[in-house]
Amino acid sequence: MSARHEYRPSPRQPSQATQRADQPRPQRRQFLLSASAVVSAGALGGWALLATRPKSPRDTASSADSDRAAAARSHPSSAARPADATVSITWVGDMTFGTLDEWPPDGTGSLITGMLPHLHSDLTIGNLETALGDLPMDKCTPGESDCYQFEAPDYTAKVLKRAGFHAVNVANNHTFDAGPAGEVSTNNALRRAGLLFAGRPGQITYLTRNGIEIALLGFAPWPYDASALDIPAAKALVREARRNAQVVIVMEHLGGEGDEYRNVLPGTEYFLGQDRGNSIAFTHGVIDAGADLVMGSGPHVLRGFQWYRGHLIAYSLGNFCGYYTLGLDKYTSVSAILRVTLNASGQFVVGSIKPIQLVGPGIPQVDHGGTAIRYINSISAAGKIEPIRG
């Protein structure tokens, strides 16, 4: 098993050629997961099974098909792929560990001790929504309301590595809470721990699992992240990844925050006066460009799951852990761990959901009542992720 971390800075704006190639395309009808296809509620205390074979999209061939076909033509030869190889991927949502000098007395690792048996897979990833280090934070001004800043000691990277994490997404609105110096401190802490990361502008992270070449990309709607607002540029980066990897995984941090943003609706979302992106246009766009799996975070609540062109989108897994940093109510305290297995062609093989719930200051524990399963089923099956017709 090997890994290489490749950081490729690129201009924030796509070239004119990229812009012309990525003009908006006609949108097609999407296919939602039904209540029976999202999860089986028969295993509430364990891993609830996702559909093992998504329905194939029935829409007609389009320019999106051409995108994927072109990527396949430039893709490494299928003859070089390991026969019958698969890769298991575990994804958790937002991870915070406190703020400067206000950390768990037993160490930041104490927040996730109870989750260690559930984090084992070929590739375990979470959204690291904090700067790492002990630098002054300058994001919020004194007395500013609706402003939050998070920081965790740099040893937290080693904690995550020992817990079973292999990579983290750093494209979100908190990894820059300590400014440019905090970004450098975070990068250095992750590298020292041997923890891969993705989400900086222009960044593609490559690694190999079970002989399968994998590309990781992270996106969010802030200028210090790979931009989720510039969808043509995001698609261009995904196409580059597709040319160099067999499996492409995209992590997105999009949408408003809190209970009222549980449903994914068409169009741009705004929160606290900020453009928080268009979740449907972005996720569908990166799959059109060659992504095999899209995993989300950001709203601090669970959102629905969706099949698009045979590929799974998990719009948000909610919160995974925090230390007096997350408002935990009926919805924000409910979360899940997603596990998906893909084959060497990036096709979905099987998946499962582990329901969890955050208690106390923000500690995850297994939810034997399966609340997350009911939430995901009700949101997805009720059509709250509106189909787009055209």
Average pLDDT of the residues in 290-318: 96
Q: Determine the pLDDT at residue 76.
A: 53
Q: Residue 223 above 90 pLDDT?
A: yes
Q: Determine the pLDDT at residue 82.
A: 62
Q: Residue 12 above 50 pLDDT?
A: no
Q: Which of 74-78, 86-90, 164-168, 213-217 comes out lowest in average pLDDT?
A: 74-78
Identify the residue with better confidence: 77 or 246: 246
Q: What is the mean pLDDT of the chain?
A: 83
Average pLDDT of the residues in 288-304: 97
Q: Determine the pLDDT at residue 38.
A: 44
Q: Determine the pLDDT at residue 169.
A: 98
Q: Determine the pLDDT at residue 101.
A: 83
In the chain, where the domains are located: 2-7+28-54+64-74+83-138+148-381
Average pLDDT of the residues in 167-191: 95
Q: Determine the pLDDT at residue 68.
A: 61
Average pLDDT of the residues in 206-216: 98
Closest CA to 136 of 151, 157, 156: 151
Average pLDDT of the residues in 154-173: 97
Q: Domain 2-7+28-54+64-74+83-138+148-381, what fold?
A: Purple Acid Phosphatase; chain A, domain 2 (3.60.21)
Q: Residue 34 above 70 pLDDT?
A: no
Q: Residue 61 above 70 pLDDT?
A: no
CA 192 – CA 189 distance, rounded (Å): 5
Q: Residue 343 above 50 pLDDT?
A: yes
Q: Residue 157 above 70 pLDDT?
A: yes
DSSP string, 255-323: S--SGGG-S--SS--EETTEE---HHHHHHHHHHTT-SEEEEE-SSSB--EEEETTEEEE--B-EEE-S
Q: Which of 147-161, 327-341, 374-388 comes out lowest in average pLDDT?
A: 374-388
What is the pTM assigned to this prediction? 0.84
Average pLDDT of the residues in 350-374: 95
Q: Would you place residue 296 in the very low, low, confident or very high pLDDT band (cuts 50, 70, 90)? A: very high
Q: Which of 9-18, 158-167, 281-290, 308-317 comes out lowest in average pLDDT?
A: 9-18
State the sign of the Cα–Cα–Cα–Cα dihedral 255, 164, 188, 294: negative
| Model pLDDT for residues 248-269, shown as the tens digit of each residue | 999 999 999 999 999 999 999 9
Closest CA to 259 of 357, 354, 327: 327
| Model pLDDT for residues 88-145, shown as the tens digit of each residue | 999 999 999 998 889 999 999 999 999 999 999 999 999 999 999 998 887 777 777 7
Q: Would you place residue 64 in the very low, low, confident or very high pLDDT band (cuts 50, 70, 90)? A: low
Which residues on neighbouring strands pair with residue 124, listed in sequence order?
90
Furthest C-alpha separation in the chain: 61
CA angle 46, 49, 53 (to 5 degrees): 165
